[in-house]
Amino acid sequence: MSKVRGESLVDKVKSSYALVQRNYNLVRRDAGWELVFIVYEVVNVLTIGFIGVNGPKETMNERVLYLVAGALLWGFLSALFHEVAESVAWERWEGTIEYSFMAPQPRGVYMFGVCMWGILYGFVRTAICLAAVTLAFQISLAGANLWAALLTLAASSLAFLGMGLAAAVLPLISPEKGSPATHIFQAVVLLVSGVYYDVSVLPAWVRPLSYVSPATYTLRAARAALLEGAGVRALAPDLIILLALGVVLIPMGFAVFSAGERYAMRTGKLKRNG
């Protein structure tokens, strides 16, 4: 039997590059706006860093690092989540969703492309912020274990991509309420995960939420690596939780999305005009 073009795994990965290129073109077209967003993000991170400059000199490095690590990690993870979760909302808004979804590709190809873009975009933005931070503050990373911190980030990326995939279904099943819902979800994760403070300060009734948020483990492990130089072995419990969350959340997010797509095709939620 002759092989149909676009069938091998390599071809599928190539096809998913369509999403990366398209989003890159969109960013480039509105480069002015992108610049504004990045400047805002940089200023935001710096502002948070300056909070740590207050107080006793001896512990300043630790305080600034604590805060800046929170801001940078949150910036990366929320960009990841946002790019994936909003991909469908964006296509709905443009009206292109039927065309993207009608392509003869398993949905995984589309989603893989969206995730790759999210990682790339989040990475570049965070790198720019990191550069600004190192210029603004004389932070010493002498005792930090950077590899362990990076590994933590990679492990938690999976969990956040999984959550993004699940959240991407919301605009699919509810055109009006879907996108606001993803923003609320993101805000709750920010609140309960100890991005700028230790989760122990949270009111008792909010605490349980911090246990289920992957960001809680990311921040705890990354800070241990950056501030105390903790190694992979010491971080193993948190890393395992993060990986487990990723391994569960990615297939689950994908399954939720696929179910949502079937629902949309049954009820006519994909698009109705034109």
Ligand X SMILES: Nc1ncnc2c1ncn2[C@@H]1O[C@H](COP(=O)(O)OP(=O)(O)O)[C@@H](O)[C@H]1O
Summarize as ranges the residues that interact with other proteins (CB under 8 A). Answer: 4-6, 11, 14-15, 17-19, 21-22, 25-26, 29-30, 94-96, 98-106, 110, 262, 265-268, 270-271, 273-274
Buried/exposed 140-167: b ≥16 CB within 10 Å, e otherwise = eeeebbeebbebbbebbbbbbbbbbbbb
CB of 175 to other proteins, least distance (A): 13
- Which residue of the chain is nearest ligand X when measured via CB? 268
Helix (H, G, I), strand (E, B) or coil at 150: helix
| Residue 265 interacts with which of other proteins, ligand X, none, CB < 5 to 8 Å by class | other proteins
User: Considering all CA atoms of the chain, what is the largest pairwise distance in Å, rounded to the nearest integer?
Assistant: 74
CB of 172 to other proteins, least distance (A): 13
| Residue 274 interacts with which of ligand X, other proteins, none, CB < 5 to 8 Å by class | other proteins
Nearer to other proteins, 21 or 140 (CB): 21
CB of 258 to ligand X, least distance (A): 20
On whether the CB atoms of residues 23 and 121 are closer than 8 A, the answer is yes
CA distance 273 to 119: 33
Nearer to ligand X, 2 or 273 (CB): 273
CB of 118 to other proteins, least distance (A): 17
| Residue 258 interacts with which of ligand X, other proteins, none, CB < 5 to 8 Å by class | none
The amino acid at residue 36 is V
CB of 272 to ligand X, least distance (A): 3
Nearer to other proteins, 12 or 63 (CB): 12
| Residue 103 interacts with which of other proteins, ligand X, none, CB < 5 to 8 Å by class | other proteins
Where are the strands (E) in 36-104, listed by range?
none
Q: What interhelical angle do 178-192 and 146-168 show, nearest 10? A: 150
Nearer to other proteins, 11 or 62 (CB): 11
Burial class (CB in 10 A: 0-12, 13-18, 19+), 268: exposed
CB of 172 to ligand X, least distance (A): 13
CB of 269 to ligand X, least distance (A): 7
Nearer to ligand X, 233 or 272 (CB): 272
**Residues 6+ away with beta carbon under 8 Å from 18:** 113
Nearer to ligand X, 28 or 272 (CB): 272
**Residues 6+ away with beta carbon under 8 Å from 252:** 162, 166
Nearer to ligand X, 104 or 268 (CB): 268
| Residue 62 interacts with which of other proteins, ligand X, none, CB < 5 to 8 Å by class | none
Buried/exposed 31-67: b ≥16 CB within 10 Å, e otherwise = eeeeeeeeeebbeebbebbeebeeeeeeebbbbbbbb
- Give residues in contact with ligand X (CB under 6 A): 268, 272
